[in-house]
Amino acid sequence: MIPVRKSWTNIVMGEGQSHVLPCPAHRNPDNGDIIVAFELTDEEIEAIKKHKTIMYMQTTYGKPMHPMQLYVLDENDRAIKDERIDPVSNTKTA
């Protein structure tokens, strides 16, 4: 999977750094939250269908882990999850 640009992308993390891949993202200017969209390969999609599992790793350097969310978007770029959250404003929606 690779990070991809979306209409709401407003930064590219790691841009110009030769040791990392650029990561397009949205940074919420009000609270600093970062949202990154990933595009999956057909092989990854088939693996998710089969195993129904997504792995997540976050480096913490031995410190407490920050809160995180994983979700998918519908055809209107709206979050699909139990409590609907707008992926750009990070606010609850109807």
Question: Domain span at residue 28?
Answer: 2-64
The pair of structure tokens assigned to 52 is 């129904």
Residues 60-78: tens digit of each pLDDT: 999 998 888 888 888 887 7
Task: For residue 44, give both structure tokens.
Answer: 């990854």
* Residue 88 pLDDT: 64
Residue 87 pLDDT grade (very low, low, confident, very high; cuts 50, 70, 90): low
Is position 19 within any domain?
A: yes
The answer as to whether 69 is a domain residue is no
At residue 54, does pLDDT exceed 60? Answer: yes
Domain count, the chain: 1
Q: Is residue 46 part of a domain?
A: yes
Residues linked to residue 73 through DSSP beta bridges, in sequence order: 79
Residue type, 48: I
For residue 48, being part of any structural domain is answered with yes
Q: Is residue 73 part of a domain?
A: no
Reported confidence tier of residue 24, pLDDT bands at 50, 70, 90: very high
Helix (H) or strand (E) holding 62: none
pLDDT band (50, 70, 90) for residue 90: low
Query: How many angstroms separate the CA atoms of 82 and 86, rounded?
Result: 13
What mean pLDDT comes out for the span 21-48? 93
